[in-house]
C-alpha cells in the first residue's frame, strides 16, 4: 500500500452515489463495517485489525462505518489511527445512541436526546482524530425522543 492510501486496484470496486445534489457522496459499492475489528465477536488483535482495514483501503474501499459503542470507543480510535492524515480520501460514517453496557442511570437503553448527541459526536470526533463525520446517524430509534 502506498503512504497516501491510494487504492492499488480501484477498478475492482464499482462506484455508487449516496444521496443527491450537493449532499451526494460517491463511494465504492463495497464498504467496510468496523464492528468486528474490536472484539464484537470475540477477542480481536489490534495489529491484525489495522492490517485488514489497510488492505480494504488498498482494494478501493472508500466508505468506513463504525459506532461509538463498538469496542467501547476503541473501534473509532483504531480507525482514526489507520486513516491519519488521509482522512479526506474516505467517507466516514459513525453512529450514536447506544449507551455503554448497563445503560444510563435512568434506565435508557437508547439515547437520542440532543445533549447526548452533542456529547457523543464530540467524543467520536476526538477518538477518530478528525474534525468531521460524513454520515452520522442514530444507531436505534429512541422511543422517548421525537424524530423531528
Instruction: Show me where the domains of the chain are located.
Output: 10-138
Q: Which three cell numbers stand for residue 100?
A: 455503554
| Angle formed at CA 136 by CA 25 and CA 22, multiple of 5 degrees | 30
Most confident of 8-12, 36-40, 49-53, 144-148: 49-53
Q: Are 60 and 27 in contact (CB under 8 A)?
A: no
CATH class for domain 10-138? alpha beta
What's the pLDDT tens digit per position in 11-26? 578 999 999 999 999 9
pTM: 0.85
CA 86, distance to chain mean position in Å, is 15
- Residues marked as catalytic: 70
Q: Which three cell numbers stand for residue 72?
A: 467501547
Amino acid at each position: 500500500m502506498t503512504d497516501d492510501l491510494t487504492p492499488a486496484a480501484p477498478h475492482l470496486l464499482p462506484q455508487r452515489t449516496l444521496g443527491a445534489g450537493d449532499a451526494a457522496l460517491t463511494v465504492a459499492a463495497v464498504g467496510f463495517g468496523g464492528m468486528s475489528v474490536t472484539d464484537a465477536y470475540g477477542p480481536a488483535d489490534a495489529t491484525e485489525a489495522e492490517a485488514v482495514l489497510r488492505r480494504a483501503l488498498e482494494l478501493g474501499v472508500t466508505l468506513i462505518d463504525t459506532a461509538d459503542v463498538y469496542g467501547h470507543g476503541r473501534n473509532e480510535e483504531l480507525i482514526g489511527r489507520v486513516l491519519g492524515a488521509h482522512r479526506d480520501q474516505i467517507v466516514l460514517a459513525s453512529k450514536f445512541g447506544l449507551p455503554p453496557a448497563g445503560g444510563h442511570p435512568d434506565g435508557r437503553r437508547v439515547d437520542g436526546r440532543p445533549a447526548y448527541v452533542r456529547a457523543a459526536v464530540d467524543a467520536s470526533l476526538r477518538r477518530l482524530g478528525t474534525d468531521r463525520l460524513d454520515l452520522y446517524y442514530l444507531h436505534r430509534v429512541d422511543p422517548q425522543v421525537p424524530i423531528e
